[in-house]
Structure 1
């Protein structure tokens, strides 16, 4: 059966489009006594952007800490805080920040209308009720969180997103002015998440004409950004991120993401950094793309963390392997239906030991 794909229904793209946020929110506000909730990356607390947020008298701003990968327990804390703020639900949840902040906004919006803990919904199509209206405004480009049907969450036993048709944003605003001035390392690692999405999709067994078209164009844009000197690099990276997210929505990621999830679960490695650490070891699976990725690293003087697994004990290694191998759709895409006979625990261990 073919996937009935749900995408973000409303999108604004363009420099300065953030200035339209108040007008856009007018369509979602219900009355003068209602409120919206802003989840804003705490890095913006003392930056000019926060003073441009159109706050109304009842609105709630929560500065979220994304120094580590988002956890299901943190989602639960945020949901409790939103519920305690008012006896009525918010008209909308707005996520303003990088991929982690956007994922938190999506998860909080869902958990305001679904019972239990966010950890109960880690998996595919477990969410039963539509969430509160949620709006995503990226201030980093590359993760595809603004368009994807998943969140990236670390739970008590695994790292796995809330994947559902209710997860995608109802509205996104893509303003390249908001990504200017990002530190080079962060700009690189976040953008490589997009590049690696595309490589895994194109090399995977789930690829189809729809996903291929988006992935190929996204790759071309990534090359313009990371191998060229394009004056419109920020705009192109935003579009590459969107297209990369669209590609994997109708295909899947693969080996790099599966192994990266293990690193993140045990060591707290940030998603983009983890993808790069892993991808650098995957010549056997994505050879030409890995070679190109290294040229991009050289151009921007990126030094990958090395030896990140050298102090991992046996129990930790086994847990990383469990987390990675638990992501069956990723392995099926990468290696086909017989992936279990190809990617053994010993092979996963050997790859981790090289990191």
Structure 2
């Protein structure tokens, strides 16, 4: 069976296109009592020029989301409660402005406003029953692919796992490369490597097909150009690499690195980008060419990864990391095939973690 998957229905790209957000939202504002919720990364809280560009009207809410930690189901539940307490009707839209964490929060909030219970109830595949509130993603970092993904990755009480659903997809993307200006170099690298690793895992996976290969090869080409050649339009190219990388895994899947990084995030609290880099650097056995190029890009940008992160962990923590990684069965199957359980045993996963 071929999977019939959805894509984001409206995309606007170009330098300065963020200024058209008010026009985009005009069709959503159908009356005086309608309102829009803007969820913005807390790094913009004191940025008055940027805040002035957010097209706030009437009863709109602007909420700054703390992204010091990975997005959590409890945080989503708290935001949903805050919005419901402020108004007795649904917002006309939820707009996520920031990196992958902020966009994941926006997607999850849009879903939980129309579906009962906690965000933790929906961690898994196709558990959402009702369409989300109309929602838009505006990335201010590039690489995560969150702007095009059908998942919103959240850490819950028991696991780190996405809410995977066609309803998760944004209805609108605003891709403005100008918004990437000023991102700290290390953060830019780690998020960009998320995209690069998406491509390596997609292009070497057993789920590979011409659709995912076409997007993945172009995204990888753009990543290598951005991080090894540094062209003047690097931000434009990195933003498109993120888009293409996200599309590549939409019809395939990621693999060993992402599965292991989920365990690192759950137990150690590592952000997704750096967690992927820490894990990928130890995976020559599975991705020899990708790891070689990754180290070349690290050297070019003078990146020093944290080391010995797992050496002081207690046995129960290693066991929990292994549990979290093993939940992600589609990732392992993509990487290693249908017999992956004979290859990736608990002992093998522990051995890989102990290299980090």
Q: What is the match of residue 41 of structure 1?
A: 41
The CA distance in 2 between the partners of 1:175 and 1:122, in whole Å, is 30
Q: What is the match of residue 120 of structure 2?
A: 119
Deviation above 2 Å: which 4+ runs of structure 1?
Answer: none
Gaps of 5+ in 2: none
Task: Give per-residue Cα distances to partners, 1:311-355, cap 9 Å, x unaligned.
Answer: 110000000001001100000000000000000111111110110
- For 1:92-131, what aligned pairs fall within 5 Å after superposition? 92-131=93-132
The CA distance in 2 between the partners of 1:326 and 1:86, in whole Å, is 38
The CA distance in 2 between the partners of 1:33 and 1:349, in whole Å, is 55
Q: What is the match of residue 324 of structure 1?
A: 325
Q: What is the match of residue 72 of structure 1?
A: 73
The CA distance in 2 between the partners of 1:200 and 1:83, in whole Å, is 40
The CA distance in 2 between the partners of 1:29 and 1:3, in whole Å, is 35
Q: What is the match of residue 169 of structure 1?
A: 170
Task: Give per-residue Cα distances to partners, 1:130-166, cap 9 Å, x unaligned.
Answer: 0000010000000000000001100100000000000
Q: What is the match of residue 3 of structure 1?
A: 3
The CA distance in 1 between the partners of 2:215 and 2:275, in whole Å, is 24
The CA distance in 1 between the partners of 2:217 and 2:256, in whole Å, is 19
Task: Give per-residue Cα distances to partners, 1:96-115, cap 9 Å, x unaligned.
Answer: 00000000000000000001
Give the number of equivalent residue pairs.
355
Whether 1:312 and 2:313 are equivalent positions in the alignment is: yes
Q: What is the match of residue 151 of structure 2?
A: 150
The CA distance in 2 between the partners of 1:342 and 1:29, in whole Å, is 54
Gaps of 5+ in 1: none
The CA distance in 2 between the partners of 1:60 and 1:151, in whole Å, is 22
The CA distance in 2 between the partners of 1:305 and 1:118, in whole Å, is 31
- Matched residue SS, 2:243: helix
Post-superposition offset of 1:192: 0.3
- For 1:1-355, what aligned pairs fall within 5 Å after superposition? 1-47=1-47, 48-355=49-356
- Matched residue SS, 1:189: helix
- Matched residue SS, 2:167: coil
- Matched residue SS, 1:285: coil
- Matched residue SS, 2:39: strand
Post-superposition offset of 1:27: 1.3
The root-mean-square deviation of aligned C-alpha atoms, in Å, is 0.5
- Matched residue SS, 1:273: helix
The CA distance in 2 between the partners of 1:307 and 1:241, in whole Å, is 30
- Matched residue SS, 1:161: strand
- Matched residue SS, 1:181: coil
* TM-score, scaled to structure 1: 0.99
Post-superposition offset of 1:229: 2.0
Task: Give per-residue Cα distances to partners, 1:241-300, cap 9 Å, x unaligned.
Answer: 000000000000000000000000011000000000000000010000100000000000
The CA distance in 2 between the partners of 1:8 and 1:166, in whole Å, is 10
